Amino acid sequence: MIKTEKEIALMREGGRILRETLLNIKANILPGVKLKSLDLIAWKVIKEAGGGAYPAFLGYKPSGAEKPYPASICASVNEVVVHGVPNNYELKEGDIVSIDVGVKYKGFYTDGAMTFPVGKISKEAEKLMETTKEALSLGIKEAQVGKTIGDIGFAIEKCAKKNGVFVVKMLTGHGVGKRLHEPPTIFNFGRKGSGEKLLPGMTLAIEPMFALGTGDIKQTEDESYATIDGSLAAHFEHTILITEKKPEILTL
């Protein structure tokens, strides 16, 4: 769980590749673009980065999944919260799409996500995205030595409540590094001072997921997760490093 300086350096490079991937995808988020084409962009950017960089999600089979994941990214549109499989769906004006990317670089993983607007979107969708992004920043600010996992969750949940949106409580952040998913589990809600204490060298994937509706979710046929009430959802994520000073964002 605690990473060495050498391991952190590898994660920094993986995080740089991940950020470059998201920026390339962002430039292609337009009405009429197919989700599959965004997946191909990610594959190309990651593989061309060199050093054996590889899309971490491709072929990944988490506990409970029926089959390995078939794509390089997750592309989750509108009410789909996470794990949307890129297909032939064409983005439409007014959609929002969450792109989740994982990079494996020389044996170490980074994980990051952003929600993007497709053309002009509703004010409600804008507020949802802005709030989720703000919650990520507030959660990261709490990721300091001596604080706890509960402090991160408390800050994230407080932001959701303040802005009238809802935490998707069934989905969480996690440790990341030698594996894509490591301890500890990072809930997007919590009590101040509760849970595991944060230590220098920890690397965490903090990822608030908010919805305009209740935040209750269901698993769909393609094993993605969508809101039960069909309300819009947003997802922002960074891989961060706990240091003796302020947290370092490895995917920025």
Mark the binding-site residues for substrate, compressed into ranges: 83, 181
Identify which of 160, 155, 183, 185 has the alpha carbon closest to the alpha carbon of residue 170.
185
Residue 55 to residue 125: CA distance in whole angstroms:
29
Identify which of 226, 156, 165 has the alpha carbon closest to the alpha carbon of residue 187.
156
Q: Is 65 exposed, middle or buried (0-12, 13-18, 19+ CB in 10 A)?
A: exposed
Residues facing residue 249 across a β-bridge: 240
Task: Decide: 214 and 166 in contact? Cβ < 8 Å.
Answer: yes
Residues facing residue 233 across a β-bridge: 211
Annotation: binding site: 83, 100, 111, 174, 181, 207, 237
The number of beta carbons lying within 10 Å of the beta carbon of residue 244 is: 8
- In single-letter form, the type of residue at position 108 comes to F
CB contact set of 245 (below 8 Å; sequence gap of 6+): none
Give the H/E segment covering residue 42. helix 35-48
Tokens found for residue 110: 């980074």
Give the H/E segment covering residue 95. none
Tokens found for residue 43: 């594959």
Annotation: binding site for a divalent metal cation: 100, 111, 174, 207, 237
